[in-house]
Amino acid sequence: MSWKLFMLLVKASGLTLVISGVSILIGLALGFVICAGLLSGTRGLNRAAELFVSFFRGVPLLVQLLLIYHLMPALGINVSSTTAAIVGLSLCTAAYQAENLRAGFGAVPRGLLEAADMCGFSHFQTFRRIRAPIALRLTLPAIINEAVLLLKASSLVSVVGIVELTRMAQDLASSTYRPIPIFASAGLLYFIICAIVAGIGALYERRQKWARR
């Protein structure tokens, strides 16, 4: 495999990193909102959040992307390939992140909440100083897991016309008929990108390490 082909894969992996990086951040922010809905006492909000999670976790990302790409223009909103890809990935990952966060909030020791209550913390103070930080720390590995999963799932955005790393590898394999070295290189590049994302997460995790007793 020539250097030139490898550099084409490197370039395509840049696109993979950008598209999934943006989607990870949007998805995480949206995940918080959905999680708030899941934990909300208001029945309507609760139902809406549950439906969101159910739909975006349940329906294959491939189908979601095709829906966004083919349906939106019919409703008068012209989505570019890039927009369709980012919207599709963000919505899908938000559903998973919301579930992760919900689990974290559920696992916050009750004693701590009772203690905060007794110390006279307001509802908001308890949330900001006790529940949110502890839940985040508890779920950080799962959140990073999901971020890396999204990075890899981003290969599906080729169905809306984006030539990211996997698609580039398929294209190159189909003109050189030497798929094994090309897919092995693509695997290596994915590994590097995932290491970058996981590394950022691990750095944060270390900084936030829960003081364990």
Residue list 92-151, contact with other proteins (CB under 8 A): 96, 99-100, 102-103, 106-107, 109-111, 138, 141-142, 145-146, 148-149
> Does the footprint of other proteins cover residue 164 (CB under 8 A)?
no
Go through the chain and tell me how many residues it has. Answer: 213
> Does the footprint of other proteins cover residue 207 (CB under 8 A)?
no
Between 90 and 158, CB nearer to other proteins: 158
> Does the footprint of other proteins cover residue 80 (CB under 8 A)?
no
Per CB under 8 A, the list member of 74, 120, 124, 206 interacting with other proteins is 74
How many chain residues bind other proteins (CB under 8 A)?
A: 73
Looking at 20-28, 29-37, 125-133, 172-180, which segment touches other proteins (CB under 8 A)?
A: 172-180
> Cα separation of 91 and 189, whole Å?
25
Contact assessment for residue 101 and residue 139, using Cβ atoms and an 8 Å cutoff? yes
What single string gives the DSSP state of each residue in 89-145?
HHHHHHHHHHHHHHHHHHTS-HHHHHHHHHTT--HHHIIIIIIHHHHHHHHHHHHHH
Per CB under 8 A, the list member of 41, 177, 206, 207 interacting with other proteins is 177
Between 40 and 170, CB nearer to other proteins: 170
**Residue 2 identity:** S
Instruction: List, in order, residues 6 or more apart from 61 with CB less than 8 Å away.
Output: 88, 89, 92, 153, 156
